[in-house]
Structure 1
Amino acid sequence: MRSEFLEELILILGHPNVLVDDDDKAPYLNDWRKRYSGKALAITLPKTVQEIAQIVQLCAKNQIAIVPQGGHTGFCGGATPDNTGAQIILNLKRMNAIREIDKANQTITLEAGCILQAVQDKAADQDFLFPLSLGAEGSCMIGGNLATNAGGTNVLRYGNTRDLCLGLEVVTAKGEIWNGLKGLRKDNTGYDLRDLFIGSEGTLGIITAAVMKLYPLPISQWTTLVAIDSIESTIALLNLFQKRATSLLTGFEMMTQESLTLNEKHFPHMANPLQGNPPYTILIELSDHESEEHVRQLLETVLEEAFEAGLISDAVIANNLSQANSFWHMREHITLAQAEEGANLKHDITIPLSSLDNFIKETDAQMRSQYPGVRIINFGHLGDGNLHYNIAPPLGVDPKAFNLIHEKPIHELIYAQVERCHGSISAEHGVGQLKLEDLRAHKGEVAHELMKTLKRALDPQNILNPHKVVSI
């Protein structure tokens, strides 16, 4: 049966686009963190939505599960197959066409395999901004961004990927093609199918294309690093910038002293330019459509007010684009520094800003009390309450051994604190395999059963990315 199935796959895609040799399959079988690995019957590389529809129909007929895969940059194992060797991977990298840029409508229609940075560049060539921006933008793909509802550094002003999407093209579990590629800001015609598929991680349908919003390209951007002593003062600073700069505030990122110390250890050229590497370093960006002078004066005025209020103790304003980029590189390299340091326990969480100070104080205290010497690598998109609250073992302790013993109780400690503060255990990375078991308790019985009902209704054979997000 398997040989017949593979022969039919080859008829659909052509021999070069169905990978069955172990060496050819290997690059697709591990997640970015090397935490999850699996086996696959075949790797399929479709080029068109019609080919994907035929693949799904064939898999449905043979009851073979499909794992959709994009840029392979996820942290939760959502695009990694299981160990049975009975699933196929449907990698979308060949579906990378930009179908249309509608200047009048300020939209871009593009396929799921488009690399995020390429989309940003294409938009900029047409004097538009595509605002989705994250550390993996050089390799992550739009399909994966939509499937996980990715966030990133511009959420504060432009929202998550969901907020940037106007329409989708999706292949259903039956192999039918739903063409919802409308560039409408208003379409109040019943259930919003678009929102159903965004964030579903390929468990309800396979996103193959999308219509995304574009924005006018800013004329000027000014970036600053500021030193601050507490989260309480940081929230006050955020409120001040939101009051004075309103929609010009594009980025508000928090980095702890410990996270930047780790950064400098592995990337010495990225030393913090603020004196003494303060307890908290905040990266702030304003962007404007008026003039360089206008936004620079606004930034200086707000910083002066913050100094006078005792909120900040030091600030460095980037003098040019190169220096501004170096500030952002500091922030983006923390994840890479963690990878260099060894396996760590990641927590992509959201906390209401009103509870953030209390969450960090109490959780830090409990972690240090129960695990002496543990390193808390806490950083993130503080403007929208999204923390990457990650745990590294004490210096000299083997990361794998530490994680093997302490992973479950550390997760439970942090997630209990998240629940106490009415937060979320997943802000922008998704659920995948990593948080599958935690999701039920977090969502509650009613919400979890509703999710299972949707999964059964749209994928009754359970062939779309099974055992990710929700199990049936």
Structure 2
Amino acid sequence: MDRIDSVLNALPQDLVTRDPDITARYLTDFRKYLTGATRAVLRPRTREDVALIVRLCAEHGVPLVPQAGNTSYCAAATPSAAGDELVVSLERLNAIRELDAANLSLTAEAGCVLSVLQEAADAAGLLLPLDLGSRQSCQIGGNLSTNAGGVSVLKYGMARDLVLGLEAVLPDGTLLEVLQPLRKNNTGYDVKQLLLGAEGTLGIITAVSLKLVRKPVQTVTAFLAISQIAALTTILGEAQAYTGENITSFEYVSDHSLKLLLAAKPEARHPLSEASAHYVLLEAQTASPVFPLEDAVSALLERLMEAGLVTDGTLAAGGAQRDALWELREHIPEAEVAFGGSIKHDVSVRTSRLPAFIEAASALVETHSQGGRLSIYGHVGDGNVHFNVLAPEGAVASDYKAWFEREVAARIYDLAVEMGGSYSAEYGIGLVKKGLMARYGSPEKTALMRAVKAAVDPQGIMNPGKVV
């Protein structure tokens, strides 16, 4: 009996799934870049189950791959092809342990789907600000392990900014409990931050206490045509000033991306009467019943149009129109898939430099890409743009992607880094971006990360091969 069998035989068998027809769905990453192998998928129901699994694997030296909703764009939750790792799915840890409305906090287990937590907060008259396009399938443990971003980072920050407390199982099976939903707890190292964004390499998150905010009672959503991309930063500044810092989302959509969407979804409609090269989807929200938010946004649009910064725009008249505007933004990735998929560059620079980056990176593609089609959109309010490229019409998408990533992609990453930016704004590292980390990452930071990994996980059993 080998070490993996020793672990599997020692576990309660209701936690062990060996059927290959079932385990297959845990083995391929979301973007279908990589497919791994495993002898079994372990599906614990409690934190004690997780601790038992990790403790047995530590005793026998068996590597573990924690997995939540498996929506990572960087194969952070995909086992290796060697089949010598066990996958631990957190999907059964899906209880909401507490919602303390007076404390504006929610405590939930790692396998809770994000949309379920949003609905629970909504039912209490509150809002969980973390919001992603994959909200119906991603799980909160994965959101924290990858430090997810999304469409509300501008006002509320990344996933880590919403964490009050954490519960996790460490690589030796020890249960770390720092789950108190406290906004002040100055008692030494903030150890929970080590696990946020660590992609399961330092332990398995089992529960979290999250900040909630008061539910907005006013929402104003606008889709704007802007005269030139250089005006993005100015428009954002004006929007924040006019609305009293109540801008929750400020999303850029290029005409390239909008045309792609309209071609892929004939039922969708262009929201404006005339096309423009650049658009902004802007949303403002407030929990105040008396703040004149609609008047503020109307005054903002009047100011922007008088200054020639905005050439056309529309305000959503109700929930259905708001949803239609957001669908234009959120369905762009689906449109890219419909046309063969894209080479994704999840980069960020200072918001003040973002327009210049988009212009310079677009010029690089036009010069070097042999007809590649641009699709540029993203959370420009926080400096993060999804700078994507599709194969030319008629080209074999897989061949073109391989060529582009080998010959052109580095020019785009070089530009972002030269402008003081990042080669991974919100997707993380996983397996896919380890080469970029080796090329662009700080050697001193990498050395410190390796030292932390060695100290916390000396056997290297937690999600091996990822990040460091």
Alignment TM-score, normalising by the size of structure 2: 0.97
The answer to whether structure 1 residue 71 and structure 2 residue 69 are counterparts is yes
Task: Give, as a single letter, the amino acid of the residue that structure 2 aligns with 1:199.
Answer: G
User: Which residue matches 1:41?
Assistant: 39
Equivalent pair of 2:110/2:205 in contact (CA under 8 Å): yes
8 A Cα contact 1:220 1:292, kept in partner: no
**Equivalent residues of 2:62, 2:84 under 8 A apart:** yes
How far apart, in 2, do the equivalents of 1:272 and 1:385 lie?
A: 26
1:283 is paired with a residue of what secondary structure? Answer: strand
Give the equivalent residue in structure 2 for 1:288: 286
Structure 2 portions without partners, runs of 5+ = none
CA distances 1:97-130 after superposition (whole Å, capped 9, x unpaired): 0000112211000000000000000011111101
Q: Does the CA contact (< 8 Å) of 1:111 and 1:209 recur in 2?
A: yes
The equivalences for 1:23-38 within 5 A come to 23-38=21-36
Determine the C-alpha separation between the residues in 1 that align with 2:287 and 2:105: 19
Q: Does 1:227 align with 2:225?
A: yes
Q: How much has 1:88 moved relative to structure 2?
A: 0.6
Q: Any conservation in 2 of the 1:13–1:51 contact (CA below 8 Å)? A: no
Give the alignment partner of residue 459 of structure 2, picking from 454, 458, 461.
Answer: 461
Give the 5 Å matches for 1:358-369.
358-369=356-367
In structure 2, what is the equivalent of residue 152 of structure 1?
150
Moved more, 272-281 or 42-51: 272-281
Contact 2:232 2:355 survives alignment (8 Å): no
* Distance of 1:434 and 1:408 partners within structure 2: 14
Segment of structure 1 superposing worse, 351-360 or 37-46: 351-360
Residue 9 of structure 1: aligned partner = 8
Deviation at 1:292, TM superposition (A): 8.0
Question: 1:457: Cα distance to partner?
Answer: 0.8
Alignment partners' CA distance in 2, 1:11 and 1:69: 21
DSSP-derived class of the 2:343 partner: coil
Query: Paired residue for 1:90?
Result: 88
Q: Does 1:126 find its partner at 2:102?
A: no
Q: CA deviation at 1:11?
A: 4.9
Deviations 1:21-58 (A, max 9, x none): 22121111111111111111211110111111111111
- CA-atom RMSD, angstroms? 1.4
In 1, Cα distance between equivalents of 2:454 and 2:288: 51
**Distance in 2 separating the partners of 1:259 and 1:175:** 47
2:202 partner amino acid: L
Corresponding residue number in structure 2 for 1:277: 275
The CA distance in 2 between the partners of 1:337 and 1:306, in whole Å, is 31
Deviates more, 1:322-331 or 1:441-450: 441-450
| Residue among 86, 98, 104 paired with 2:102 | 104
Deviation of residue 341 (structure 1)? 1.7
Contact 1:170/1:205 (<8 A) preserved: yes
Gaps of 5+ in 1: none
Say whether the 8 Å CA contact 1:221–1:292 is kept in structure 2. no
Structure 1 match to 2:206? 208
Other structure's SS at 2:465 match = coil
Partner of 1:301 in structure 2?
299
Q: Contact 2:252/2:379 (CA < 8 Å) preserved in 1? A: yes
Residue identity over aligned pairs, in percent, reads: 38
What TM-score does the superposition give when structure 1 sets the normalisation length?
Answer: 0.97
Query: 1:435: which partner in 2?
Result: 433
1:171 and 1:339 mapped to 2: Cα distance?
Answer: 37
Taking the TM superposition and a 5 Å limit, the aligned residue runs for 1:380-459 are 380-459=378-457
Deviation at 1:274, TM superposition (A): 1.4
Paired residue for 1:258? 256
Q: Are 2:340 and 2:391, in contact at CA under 8 Å, matched by a contact in 1?
A: no
Residue 179 of structure 1 aligns with which residue? Answer: 177
Residue pair 1:94, 1:113 contacting (<8 A) in 2 also: yes
- Structure 2 Cα separation of the partners of residues 292 and 307 of structure 1: 26
SS in 1 for 2:424: coil
Q: How far is 1:395 from its partner?
A: 1.0
Give the paired residue count.
468
1:175 deviates by 0.7
Residue of structure 2 equivalent to 1:54: 52
Cα distance in 2 between the residues matched to 1:21 and 1:336:
31
SS at match of 1:211: strand
